[in-house]
Structure 1
Amino acid sequence: MFCFACRHFAPPTYGNADEAFIKSGFRRWKKAHGKDGAIEKHISSQCHKTSCIAWADYQRNKADKTSIAQCISEAYQKKVRENRHYIKTLGEIILLTVTQDISQRGHREGDDELNPGNVPDEAKDVSKAEQLALVIRFYDEIANCIQECFISFTQMDLLDAASITDIILKSLDKLGLDYKSSLVGLGFDGASVMSGGISGVQKRIRDKAPFVYYIHCYGHRLNLVLINVAKYVPQAAEFFSLLEELYIFASNSVVHEKFILIQREMLPEEQVRELQHLSDTRWWCRATSCENALLVQQIAVKIVQIVKQA
């Protein structure tokens, strides 16, 4: 037995438990059914949900008679507009921080701070290639203060600890910095490739620079707290699961067409809202999803009732 959605629309990577439904066909019937059965687990897997979304997108494009070339062209134009918006926003931020003579990164985020810090995150270029952002903080003896400088973005072909360590140390060597005796601190996220105490980046650098102290980024710590809190609060976990199921439901070509039509009828003066796919690593998308779901709540209820009656 195969899963139609996953066999035809599965993402490039998936778990071992999903492989039978995609490649070889599921045959273990004694373990197929029940709450902990293989079929139920597969239906709840991220692979299956992603495949259903891709299948729904395909059905919608087919119903609209939209070609792949048109999708690519529209997606490209949308990406250009987004990138221009991002570049403009980044430019405005840099102008503000330069005008106020404050660093791009800081450690004070309290409500009573006049100039709270700005915390950067990972970066990808337009082709989705991973980039390593290198920033150094140092004590300026002339100005008698802590300074911070952005050094570079470096495209990463490999994302293992050895490759990342090599890029960091080569960048410091290129600047003529004696990291073996002068480097005293490192700050990254908590991923094992970065923070691992046996072969992670921080351990590899500490082997060469004995005075280094590793700090787990507080921004990433907060993100991990939010993710885990949501998972262990039943109401929150059920709520976000419902949002994801609602998104998958509304992505069906027939349902999506009615969803847009009813939205335009009930809210003729409002901009059409689309439900958002959730992400575990970007909480802003969850906020957007909640906002859109709240604005179209009555419409979502009506479309569910229409489909149920049909």
Structure 2
Amino acid sequence: MAFIKEEIEDLRIEEVFSLKQEDTEEQTAACQLTGTDQCGSKHNIQTKENSVLSLQTYPFTRRSHKEKKRIKELGPDRPNLQIQQQSSNRGRAYTRGFTTTSYGKWSWLAGCDVSHAFYCFPCLLFQSPGTETPWATTGVRDLKHLSEKCKRHESSRSHLDNAMRLQIFGKLNIAEQLDENYRIGIRRHNEEVIKNRHILSRIIDCVKFCGAFELALHGHDESESSDNPGIFRGLVDFVASLDGVLKEHLENAAVFKGTSKIMQNELLDCMLSVVKEHIIKEAQSRDFLSIQVDETTEIATQCQLVLVLRYIDAKSNVQERFFEFIPLHSATADSIVTALKERLAVILPEDQKSKLISQSYDGASVMRRSTAGVQRKIQDVYPNAHYIHCYAHELSLIMQQATSYIPKVRIFFSDLGGFASFFSRSPKRTDVLDKVVAQRLPNSSDVRWNFHSCAISTVFEYREDLIRCFETIQDSGDFDLITVREARAFAMLLEDQDFKFFLQLFHNIMPHVDLLYTKLQKKDIDSDHIKKSIQKFQQDIKKIRNSLHPLVDQSSAGGSQAKRRRSLNPEVHERIAAEVCNTILGHTMERFSFTNHLVSATLLQGDRFEQFKITFPEDALSRTLKAYPVLNGSKLKTELSLIYCKEDFRACCGAVDLLQLFMENNLEEVFSETVTLLKILITTPTTTTEAKRCFSTLKRIKTFLRNNMNQERLNALAMLSMEKKLVTEMTDFNQKVIEKFASQNGEQRAEFLFK
């Protein structure tokens, strides 16, 4: 009996293993096989699943559990065999031939119409040790002694073993059938696993909540008697008040409660692993991939490199996924390249290197150098990864150049920053500002030009109120002499003709800068949109430059003659204003000039389709094909020629709209090369804004009070915060985290695994 239990247990393990096998191409190929008859001639035979030839070609043990059950139900194949044998007895000749009655004598007997021989069906399936070769491999053809051989084989140990395996296959284990306690134990264990998984899922929800809203998980003292156990423990206690199962667990659990710091870190590691696996799988299934990279120094003076992946998902939506914060010992090109290569090797296998089509940085010299920079070294490994300089950063450089190159303009912005600084140093001054002006002054910044724009707009709109505010401070006896003196100086500055002129000039310019800056930070913007936005920006700046004379006349009108004599004359004002506009226009044309891999956007500008219909853009096409060899040039040209002729396509605004039009109308196969080009253009990032947003999250997570946070915990919390929408959309997220947690080594992990 022990031997039978042992054999049955082996069979049960084999059955469980077979359940995990997936269908392969071999299963399909096994239905169409090539056979050889006795004369040596080859012929194709459409075989049955239970035929001898099928089972020899594609063994029973390699098939799926579903196939095995079907073969057992079909039973042995019993074709009409062509066997004729001559024999003699006492000088008389006999001819023995095959008859179907042979099958009726033995239920296990099978036949093969290719080799024209008999086989044992159970032995053919399982072939346990000691199985007789003729009955499982070569076949038996001796009709004269067939009855004797069948009786002898029927009594062999190997046949009995194989027959028993066939009979119990697909049925419950005998031990389970005999042992009621064993079944009860399994049922109780699975019920306990369901309960444990429910408890762990609630704890995972609490961790997700803290991560999504960037809250610190543990507090100063997490003991049972603590009055300040932290947000996570407080949240767990709150959920327990609504969930009786969790409440009972927290009250009665002696060893494993699931709220310790170690448990938090393990769950965070599993969550990070689940999300990263999802992102990698999604990125590998896409046609093209781009990366955005930037570096910063966080609160603990550790240099952090952020990696963001950009691709088009299955619904044709642009996705920019945070992947990881990478600690760097030094911000050198070699250090950055080494870190990026390690991560990219995990994301893209060797055969998918061509998918990486662009790399975007903020323009630092260590990144953009054409010989020893990061972009050059990455492109040596990923040849299609063209370098993109962040266009939002380019705009900041343009405005920085326009405002720092001319001395009078530089002085104006220096004076402008003094207003916010004056009020920020004293609550009493701020109180007067709130009462008189009822509007705070934003601080200016050399990096973020929208702060300059806000300061200019506020001072321009509330200039008269600010003058009254400074006069109130002068007339009040509550302020010291230094404050009074500064207030008087600022009041005079607001009346100064030069200051008023530059305030008016940049009040006209900055809204257009803000508009372009906002567009350049959008996730779904493409090269076509950028080109149109830049052209509109240049037209607006030209209009301001062409209308400077009325602006000069307006700013010089009014005021005393003495004040006008101390100010610049109108001709100088007009000359400086024209120089500012020309500087912006010149740098815009230079910095936003499209390189070979971005000039392809001009091929898909809807407003130029009518022009391209007459004169095809051969130069843009040739540069596009040079940048992206994956494109079929002749087919792409034919498709574009057809698109240019159709008026329906001219209304599309940008590459995203055109791609969605193709997808909605099922035209992706008709215009396959154009769709490929559109995907390249859309996947190519034009800004590193998402990387900057990641740094904002980094500063909120790793604060002064949490500056000793380890890197794995930081990445997990950052992932839960920045990809909270993705985590929410993954309906089986908690179950995947539990499976990963249970698969790790640990004595108590079996409590989360079903039997």
TM-score range, shorter chain: 0.3 to 0.5
Flag the structure with larger Rg. 2
Higher relative contact order (CA 8 A, sep 6+): 2
More helix by share: 2
- TM-score when normalising by structure 2: 0.21
Q: TM-score, normalised by structure 1?
A: 0.47
